[in-house]
Copies of this chain bind each other. A is one copy, B any other.
Amino acid sequence: MDESRNPRRRPGGRSARVQDAVAQAALAQLLDVGYQGLTIRGVAQAAGVAETTVYRRWPTTNHLTAAALLKLTETDNPLPDTGTLDGDLRALLTQIVALLKRPEVLRVVRSAAAIDHDEDGSVRAGKSAFFDARFADAKLIVERAIDRGEIASNTDAHLLIEALVAPSYMRALLENHPLDEELVDSSVRIVLGALQSVGIPKRADSS
């Protein structure tokens, strides 16, 4: 790699620009034609890159879907940093509820839910890529709260964020109950209430 020919205007240079263009193109296709209509060829053409370039990094449409979802969430939804755990959790869940209320986003989440991730390694990888990245982001909220001394240092960030967001996903996907400000409020209260009393500790055997 000859870095001198690619001065780093942004982290990663050309590679990052390709990733960005592909994720943008995948997102545009996904919101337009849905998961069933997404193709690697179509995304490559829209992104202006070779199909082989897409295949190398995103071997399946599931990987493209994950990249597109990440693009969507990262673009519109910077990780909240309000100064308190209460504020951060409320802001994060408000973002997620707003996303889940967008029909084109919900269509993609429904597609993801419909796929059996035990059946196909690439699906598992694609779905994981999205949720792992989102949870990794959200863990920063928990780490900052630990640093501020708001919650115990052994708090399990994954369990905490999962408890916060799961009722909203369940309402979006399965229930006929409103995704509203009351749900945001009660979800935040339940998680903070658990943290206040018994805590949400990591298991002894998990790192």
* A residues in contact (CB < 8 Å) with B: 103, 106-107, 109-118, 124, 127-128, 131-132, 156, 158-159, 162-163, 165-167, 169-171, 173-177, 182, 186-187, 189-200, 203
Contacts and interface: CB of A to CB of B under 8 A. Distances in A.
A189 B193 contact: no
Contacts of A127: 174-176
Contacts of A115: 110
Copies of this subunit: 2
Nearest to A135: B175
Interface of chain A, main secondary structure: helix
A69 to B, nearest CB: 11
Contacts of A116: 103, 106-107, 110
B186 A159 contact: yes
Contacts of A132: 176
Nearest to A185: B203
Contacts of A165: 170
B173 A173 contact: yes
Nearest to A159: B186
Contacts of A110: 113-116
Nearest to A173: B113
Contact of A131 (B159, B175, B199): B175
A113 to B, nearest CB: 4
B162 A128 contact: no
Contacts of A193: 193-200
A109 B175 CA distance: 12
B191 A190 contact: yes
Contacts of A200: 186, 189-190, 193
A189 B194 contact: yes
Contacts of A159: 167, 186, 190
